[in-house]
């Protein structure tokens, strides 16, 4: 979507990393004026500024040319940055500052709000492994928004619309619930993939074959989730209450990867609500796990 520049807030970026660069490039393509870039390392700011024909400035000066400054620095750097900027005092009045952390609410920008700035947060629910990949995946991203004033909320909603995204409003005090959900879905998918990778390695699979097997499996699973949704996307022995197969898995894990047994059982138990929705006999499965745990406890004591 290309918007009329006249109505749009002018944007500055502090933190020329993956998120800052991706949003700056995407917003510029959508018609926003990116007026200033600053970063810890001047060369990072200069490279992005050159790409967008923006000014490369010091951290203190970036917001002066802008209406809205995105603070796209690591989570731990947000508070020190807000404190550093708050020293600009009255010059901050009426300027908007928005961080992109999923872990923190807008409260951590209190030092800026205390000087009369508008504050907010805009968290893109997307893994930014690289700028180019993130630019490709950006359409249809959901953004969690918070804003200290209606005008800032409107600016953020317009920005998300211009990026072809969607918004989720987080009830007060619930941002960590939202962020933990995103971490479970994205980061722990990578963890589970890596565990499966190590298991395939342990039986002699090459890197190439392990990657092909898991990439195809993971992609098809996501396709099933997109096309069939919950609970129908679930396949495998739990969905068939196939106790013999569960028994074989636990025996093999106990023998070759014993540290994975508690995780395997915990994940199976977390799947019960999906199984119940599919009409599977969860009682039979739970009885099997309880028996298995008791037998193993007795054997190990």
Ligand X SMILES: NC(=O)c1ccc[n+]([C@@H]2O[C@H](COP(=O)([O-])OP(=O)(O)OC[C@H]3O[C@@H](n4cnc5c(N)ncnc54)[C@H](OP(=O)(O)O)[C@@H]3O)[C@@H](O)[C@H]2O)c1
86 binds ligand X (CB under 6 A): no
In the numeric block, the tokens 């010059």 are attached to 91
Minimum distance between the CB of residue 7 and ligand X, rounded to whole angstroms?
26
Letters for 134-173 (x = contact with ligand X by CB under 6 A, - = none) are ----------------------------------------
Q: CA–CA separation, 67 vs 52, rounded Å?
A: 17
Are 11 and 32 in contact, with CB atoms under 8 Å apart?
yes
Is 57 a binder of ligand X (CB under 6 A)? no
Q: Which of 44, 57, 115, 148 binds ligand X (CB under 6 A)?
A: 44
Residue 13: in which H helix or E strand, if any?
Answer: strand 11-14
User: Using the rule CB under 6 A, which residue among 11, 12, 13, 14 binds ligand X?
Assistant: 14
| Residue 261 in contact with ligand X, rule: CB under 6 A | no
- The residues, any chain, with a CB within 8 Å of residue 234's CB and separated by 6 or more, are 271, 274, 275, 278
DSSP summary character for residue 108? G
Is there binding between residue 62 and ligand X (CB under 6 A)?
no
Instruction: Pick the closer one to ligand X by CB: 97 or 128.
Output: 128
39 is a contact residue toward ligand X (CB under 6 A): yes
For residue 104, the surrounding DSSP H or E stretch is none
Q: Evaluate whether 1 touches 162 at the Cβ level (below 8 Å).
A: yes
> Interacting stretch for ligand X, rule CB under 6 A, among 95-103, 213-221, 228-236, 277-285?
95-103
Helix, strand, or coil (residue 3)? coil
- By CB under 6 A, tell whether 41 contacts ligand X: yes
Residue 101 found at the interface with ligand X (CB under 6 A): yes
Q: Is position 115 an interface residue for ligand X (rule: CB under 6 A)? A: no
Cβ neighbours of 25 (radius 10 Å): 19
Among 1, 53, 58, 75, which residue interacts with ligand X (rule: CB under 6 A)? Answer: 75
Look at residues 25, 54, 60 and name the one whose alpha carbon lies nearest to residue 37.
54
Spatial separation of the C-alpha atoms in residues 53 and 73, rounded to whole Å: 21
Nearest residue relative to ligand X (C-beta): 17
Among 123, 165, 178, 275, binds ligand X (CB under 6 A): 123
Pairing of strands 55-56, 68-71: unpaired
Residue 51 is a binding residue for ligand X (CB under 6 A): no
Helix (H) / strand (E) containing 64: none
Contact residues for ligand X, defined by CB under 6 A: 14-20, 39-41, 44, 59, 72-75, 77, 81, 100-102, 123-124, 127-128
């Amino acid at each position: 979507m290309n918007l009329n520049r006249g109505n749009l807030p002018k944007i500055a970026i502090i933190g020329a990393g993956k998120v800052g660069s991706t949003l700056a490039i995407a917003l510029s393509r959508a018609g926003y004026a990116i007026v200033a870039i600053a970063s810890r390392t001047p060369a990072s700011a200069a490279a992005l500024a050159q790409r967008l024909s923006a000014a490369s400035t010091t951290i203190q000066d970036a917001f002066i040319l802008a209406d809205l400054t995105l603070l796209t620095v690591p989570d731990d750097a947000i508070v020190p940055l807000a404190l550093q900027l708050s020293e600009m005092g009255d010059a901050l009045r009426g300027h908007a500052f928005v961080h992109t952390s999923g872990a923190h609410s807008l409260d951590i920008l209190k030092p800026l709000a205390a000087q009369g700035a508008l504050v907010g947060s805009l968290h893109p629910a997307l893994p930014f492994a690289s700028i180019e990949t993130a630019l490709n995946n950006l359409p249809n991203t959901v953004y969690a928004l918070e804003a200290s004033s209606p005008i800032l909320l409107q600016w953020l909603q317009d920005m998300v619309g211009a990026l072809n995204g969607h918004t989720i409003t987080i009830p007060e005090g619930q941002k960590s619930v939202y962020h933990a959900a995103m971490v479970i879905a994205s980061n722990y998918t990578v963890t589970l993939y890596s565990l499966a990778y190590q298991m395939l390695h342990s039986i002699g699979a090459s890197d190439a074959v392990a990657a092909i097997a898991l990439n195809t499996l993971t992609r098809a699973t996501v396709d099933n989730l997109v096309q069939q949704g919950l609970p129908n996307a679930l396949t495998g022995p739990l969905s068939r209450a196939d106790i013999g197969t569960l028994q074989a898995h636990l025996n093999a894990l106990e023998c070759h990867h014993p540290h994975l047994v508690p995780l395997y059982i915990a994940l199976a138990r977390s799947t019960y609500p999906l199984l119940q929705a599919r009409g599977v006999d969860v009682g039979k499965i739970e009885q099997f796990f309880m028996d298995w745990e008791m037998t193993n406890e007795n054997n190990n004591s």
